[in-house]
Structure 1
């Protein structure tokens, strides 16, 4: 039976004609980012990964594409829809997870923190330059001993006269060594927090009368120090860093005035998790397509690998999981655009799609045999990167408990 061929614009892995559900504008944004990835990332990513280099020279063009703060409105941001943002993240991560992470850290975390929780003056001061790629941001929440439990953070901020003084440390902070500004989350005495809240004076004490608050910290402030974490086996074409805060003194207006408590950083994490649900499918799709190309050319026992039943079973299983993940990501995007997205839905997308993407990339690697462990081919690089993506912005365990609470009504985090 002759194989049905995809249309000129539809990918062969699009088994359910998902593209037909996209508008012309959505397809246009997707294709512009895909062209950027083909031209600027694919030819070089193997070397960048091997040499552990983050290609900062790409940032200017990424800003021109409107990728920094893409889903935010005003202040020089592109103001695109959630679905358009998701499609862009899928294409970026088809190139490499580390490159997609740049956009996530800059836009979904650092810029979103200012956009969601900052004053009008803070937004005007920082967001236009960040959208233009003229200033790079980072987001300091995770600590050496407080990963999945940010409420246990040890970083503290205290008020001394007209200044805030920050002391503590953060770990696994993307872009910190090249950032111009850091959003640092710290615990503040509830009474001091109360006086800094914009609007209604409501606090959310986490323990011992303290509240988690966000601070805008220029990275040239005395006492701020960032160091690259080396010897990574994953996310090598990116930067993850340790931050040390030694009596960092900030003006009173450095605090983010809105949404005290953990709902502040969690609101930003939700934005990043949403992007991951899309991005992971980009890595998975790239691995599957690379394996399909290889199997069509690789001859074994007198015929191409793609002509064997066991190989076709692998491709079918991978394509089914890819299709389900892409449909899930699209549903998340439509719900987010409609204002009906619920927190547990993001956990469903992040947990499912990271799990599926890793398995797809690992299975795709087997198609290449021994050649699959070389940097010439993408699946194992994607699988290694996805080990980090699976961990950050909430581990499998955290998202399992979020979904479990939605199903049972019982919080089982402690």
Structure 2
């Protein structure tokens, strides 16, 4: 396996601080198996799926055999994955493609984690094992047409009616929403006005989902607009541990930290593409890497990628110790998505006209990072949250 220890990224250049040497054999195994899947299965075909805005079902079927779904959930058929291994998995998937990585993020980090954290024992036993095998697909329905950054103000309602709950409202930008076997729906209890979580199964009357069209980012994963009209679910489908927005927010902290790893994957893809292209491209009788300005730009890109790695590794360590505060996860997400945008813009520019062609694997990442920069809390929101934390002054209003 040592010959596959190429560092925290796809090439020997990326791991400039030799962080991969700190990985134990289990962590390295997760890195290598995901990297090989990306290199041999994802990269040869993903451009077509992305261009057609087609969900890559064959890749999902192959992904199921890797044993990487679960993001550290203990038991219930989920593989044993520590926070660093989970980050490496998400980094590599996004180095391949943001759409596929987002699918896994929704499945593991949002839907499965919600059930693991807030579900009853029966709900966990029913859903988590088949979801870990990708026999069942999950979705996480929080965002609404009028509530993105202020999702705490969600308007979807839940009304108790005997042994059932009746849900009404709209959701938007719901990854996997049209293909999910179970959707974790967050709704406000009409009686106590607290946010609660419900498991809505495919085929439930009054639940309608349609694929959102016209996206210029994450085109190969389907986000849904969902309408809930008098959707009736049994009390047994309410997650007993989801009784306030704080319970939902606990799930989001872990996934926000993983956004930093996702951004790192995109940045690594851009940096590697730029390095490879600059070394091979001949201009004025010599390679682009022979020019001082090109070397300067490559070094600055590497500096950003390395800083992103350090953010990721430290947040993973803090998560392992149970010490990852929401503000730290948010700052890591803010930093890495911003830096990834910079790295990918440089990579696209270094490739010249070829930078806008899918064949060169830069423009797809450049467009996909825009979605990651936005979801799980925008840069503005993360700035306000961190600012409040360090100054003890809220500047939200």
Query: TM bucket by the smaller chain?
Result: over 0.9
2:6 to 6, 9, 13: 9
Aligned-partner SS, 2:205: coil
What is the CA–CA distance in structure 2 between the aligned matches of 1:30 and 1:303, rounded to whole Å?
36
Give the conservation status (yes or no) of the 8 Å contact 2:30–2:68.
Answer: no
What is the CA–CA distance in structure 2 between the aligned matches of 1:186 and 1:407, rounded to whole Å?
32
What is the CA–CA distance in structure 2 between the aligned matches of 1:8 and 1:243, rounded to whole Å?
44
Q: CA deviation at 1:409?
A: 1.5
Give the conservation status (yes or no) of the 8 Å contact 2:6–2:15.
Answer: no
Aligned counterpart, 2:215: 232
What is the CA–CA distance in structure 2 between the aligned matches of 1:343 and 1:15, rounded to whole Å?
29
Matched, 1:411 2:394: yes
Aligned counterpart, 1:86: 87
What is the CA–CA distance in structure 1 between the aligned matches of 2:213 and 2:373, rounded to whole Å?
19
Residues 303-336 of structure 1 show CA distances to partners (whole Å, capped at 9, x for unaligned) of: 0001100000110000000000001100011111
Aligned counterpart, 2:41: 40
Aligned counterpart, 2:255: 272
Structure 2's unaligned 5+ residue stretches are none
Matched, 1:126 2:127: yes
Aligned-partner SS, 1:75: coil
What is the CA–CA distance in structure 1 between the aligned matches of 2:324 and 2:111, rounded to whole Å?
22
What is the CA–CA distance in structure 1 between the aligned matches of 2:4 and 2:34, rounded to whole Å?
20
What is the CA–CA distance in structure 2 between the aligned matches of 1:38 and 1:7, rounded to whole Å?
12
What is the CA–CA distance in structure 1 between the aligned matches of 2:137 and 2:34, rounded to whole Å?
20
Aligned-partner SS, 2:271: helix
What is the CA–CA distance in structure 2 between the aligned matches of 1:40 and 1:27, rounded to whole Å?
19
Written as runs of structure 1 = structure 2, the 5 A alignment for 1:273-312 is: 273-312=256-295
Aligned counterpart, 2:66: 65
What is the CA–CA distance in structure 2 between the aligned matches of 1:241 and 1:220, rounded to whole Å?
15
Q: CA deviation at 1:7?
A: 9.9
Taking structure 1 as the reference length, the TM-score comes to 0.92
Aligned counterpart, 1:398: 381
1:356 to 333, 339, 360: 339
Deviation above 3 Å: which 4+ runs of structure 1? 6-10
Structure 1's unaligned 5+ residue stretches are 1-5, 191-208
Give the conservation status (yes or no) of the 8 Å contact 1:60–1:132.
Answer: no
Aligned-partner SS, 1:27: helix
What is the CA–CA distance in structure 1 between the aligned matches of 2:87 and 2:308, rounded to whole Å?
13
Aligned counterpart, 1:22: 23
Residues 247-302 of structure 1 show CA distances to partners (whole Å, capped at 9, x for unaligned) of: 00111111111141111221121122121111111110111111111111111001
Aligned-partner SS, 1:85: helix
Aligned counterpart, 1:374: 357
Aligned counterpart, 1:171: 172
Aligned counterpart, 1:204: none
Aligned counterpart, 2:102: 101
Aligned counterpart, 1:49: 50
What is the CA–CA distance in structure 1 between the aligned matches of 2:64 and 2:389, rounded to whole Å?
38
Q: CA deviation at 1:405?
A: 1.4
Aligned-partner SS, 1:376: helix
What is the CA–CA distance in structure 2 between the aligned matches of 1:9 and 1:172, rounded to whole Å?
36
Q: CA deviation at 1:410?
A: 2.2
Aligned counterpart, 1:156: 157
Aligned counterpart, 1:75: 76
CA spacing shift, 1:259–1:245, aligned 2, 3 Å:
closer
Aligned-partner SS, 1:245: strand
What is the CA–CA distance in structure 2 between the aligned matches of 1:358 and 1:404, rounded to whole Å?
22
Residues 366-399 of structure 1 show CA distances to partners (whole Å, capped at 9, x for unaligned) of: 1110111111111221110010011011111111
Aligned counterpart, 1:222: 205
